[in-house]
Amino acid sequence: MAFMDDFYMITQEDLEDIKESISNQDLPTAIDTIKEFLEKQDRVELNVGVTGESGSGKSTFVNAFRGLGDEEEGSAKTGPVETTMEPEAYHHPKYKNVKVWDLPGIGTPNFKADEYLKLVEFERYDFFIIIASDRFRECHTQLATEIMRMGKTFYFVRSKMDSIIEAEKRKKSFDQKRTLDTIREDCKKGLRKAGVEDPVVFLISNFELSKYDLNLLQERMEQELPQHKRRVLMLALPNITLEINEKKKKALEENIGKVALLSALVATVPVPGLSVAVDFAIVTKEIETYYSTFGLDDPSLQKLCERSGKTIEEFKSLMKSPLIGGINPASLLSLAGAAFLVVAENTVEYAVSLVPLLGTVVAGGMSYMTVSAMLKRALKDIAEDARNVLIASVQTEV
């Protein structure tokens, strides 16, 4: 099956195993089996190590990367002095397989990069964020050199850009682009002088993460991560720029074929009512994921309200998806375009799946097309709703 290369979590053996399992189960158990199988992809871990000197904004970055403020539940401790004495993992509030590690500060007089990396167990991180709040120093370049020697990836991040820009705005000659270019080049110059060839520096404000170089940093991380980790990164990033909103849509879109494939597999098992019941369960789970990923679930909207001053009702008034009233059989049927398509699936699939070979192809194909159509329509509508909410929230903050 050549197309199986596109579905990294699913193998031919997986398909045979799940088909055998559900053929001997009752309807509720079979549905649970399918859900469990789909959840496998959410167990791919992503570990991000965040390091830098004391007071550089490490802990605040750890929080911002996970979409949290410094005083929210589950946030990393912040303060004017070093608060991290040993590596501490902070789980993403929605994706427990994503851990952002707040690492001990560097820059002490006796700092040795190789000993530091052993102390923090460098093997467990997919990449490192090296943060500085002013110039990059010898400790930063020592660490970067050692990380490269050990075959890992790192990114230089200059933090606290909001404070710098506010100070520069007082000058009559202020030009934001020129200011950013000057700061970026100054950082690169210092790194080159310290022995880093062709350095790349990303300018970030932890308190206004959507500004400056966030999109550039995200693109670079995405390019350099293994394929199966890219999706994890993209879904975990806070939905705070239009570029991220669009990339989240594409990442979720790539999963539709995988979900529809499982639906097609279920359609080949001759159990009355199984295919449609599973299709509804699969589609419901995926749509719930869409709302959570785009930050349109009620807890996420509530946080957005606190930052923007708008109410949940105001944001929901911008949403046009037929699912805004709730995910139920009626709203799901509306996604298919016409209810008779799914009703036909329920009756026809059982009959044709009893016919060897031909029946399997027809039943699987019908189920595949139905689920694909429903999820594509749902994702398109929800992504558009998220875009409208994001634009409205930014306009409010400005």
Whether 33 and 143 map to the same domain: the answer is no
Which position has the token pair 């195993």? 17
The reply to whether 59 and 167 lie within a common domain is yes
Q: Name the pTM for this structure.
A: 0.75
Examine the domain organization and report whether 60 and 90 are in the same domain. Answer: yes
Query: What does the pLDDT read at residue 128?
Result: 93
Q: How far apart are CA 383 and CA 379, in angstroms?
A: 6
**How many angstroms from the chain centroid is the CA of residue 196?**
30
| Same domain flag for 78 and 211 | yes
Q: Could you tell me the pLDDT band of residue 93, with boundaries at 50, 70 and 90?
A: confident
209 and 97 within one domain: yes
Residue 386's identity, in one-letter code, is: A
Q: What's the chain's average pLDDT? A: 77
One domain, residues 64 and 178: yes
183 and 153 belong to one structural domain: yes
Number of domains in the chain: 2
Cα separation, 15 vs 13, in Å, equals: 5
Q: What is the pLDDT of residues 165-206, one digit of tens each?
A: 888 888 888 888 888 888 888 888 888 887 788 888 999 888
Are 275 and 373 within one domain?
Answer: yes
Q: How far apart are CA 269 and CA 267, in angstroms?
A: 5
Residue 41: the pLDDT is 62
List CB contacts of 319: < 8 A, sequence separation 6 or more: 296, 385, 388, 389
Last residue within a domain, chosen from 236, 265, 280: 236
- Where among 236, 253, 283 does a domain terminate? 236
Q: Note whether 83 and 170 are same-domain residues.
A: yes
* Same-domain pairing of 127 and 230: yes
353 in the same domain as 291: yes
| Domain, as residue range, for 134 | 44-236
**pLDDT band of 341, cuts 50, 70, 90:** low
CATH number at residue 167: 3.40.50.300
Whether 37 and 100 share a structural domain: no
Query: Would you say 191 and 202 are in contact if contact means Cβ atoms under 8 Å apart?
Result: no
Inform me whether the pLDDT recorded for 339 exceeds 50: no
> pLDDT for 253-263, tens place per residue?
887 877 777 77
Last residue of a domain, one of 236, 268, 302: 236
